[in-house]
Amino acid sequence: MSDHKQEALAGESFCACSADPSRRALLAATAGLGAAAGIGAAVPFVASFTPSDRARAAGAPVEVDLSGLRPGEKLVVEWQGKPVWILRRTPEMLAGLKTLDDKLVDPGSSAAEQPAYVSGEARSIAGKEEFFVCVGICTHLGCSPSDKFATGADSGMGEGWKGGFLCPCHGSMFDLAGRVFKSMPAPTNLVIPPHTYLSDTRLLIGQDSKGA
């Protein structure tokens, strides 16, 4: 075939491609989808570095609404990447705490990690004893204990059980103030984070009334 004829055929082929409206539309659509996919993939990446997320990762305080928390219920929120429990204890739950001193490693929480303004067997801020706030991580090897709020024989924890928490990993038991029982793997009571009440129904975790 002559060079002239080959050039002519190549020209016709190129013209056919460039002149075909449906093919141009397909190419445009494909390019658009590729761009959209790129944008979609970037959104989660960008969102993971927003200022609010960085603040939370750095331990920014977390405000919690307590208005819907009923007596006997527990709420779990995240602070510094850890679960924080807020348990609203009933009068019966609080009364049970007074009977356990001889069964606990540190009933007065003298060796526990907790703010100085948290006191008593309830391990709460004065006037807010019904609310128990703690980091829901066992002080043994970092598992998260399970709720065991039922009492007595129905609890499966023994006739004298007053309610509390059981670590499923190695069996450490804690009462409803996060105090560890004797002869358990966990060496200390559950940790209580800094916190303060902004109102009767608003709790701020990660900062106390002095801004610490």
Tell me which residues are annotated as active site: 170
CB–CB of 175/164 below 8 Å?
yes
Distance CA 209, CA 6 (A): 86
Helix (H, G, I), strand (E, B) or coil at 188: coil
Distance CA 194, CA 209 (A): 9
Residues paired with residue 125 on neighbouring β-strands, in sequence order: 118
Locate 66 and state its tokens. Answer: 């307590």
Q: What is the CA radius of gyration of the chain?
A: 31
Locate 147 and state its tokens. Answer: 């709720």
Please provide residue 58's backbone torsions phi and psi, each rounded to the nearest 5 degrees: -80, -5
Distance CA 57, CA 37 (A): 28
CB–CB of 114/174 below 8 Å?
no
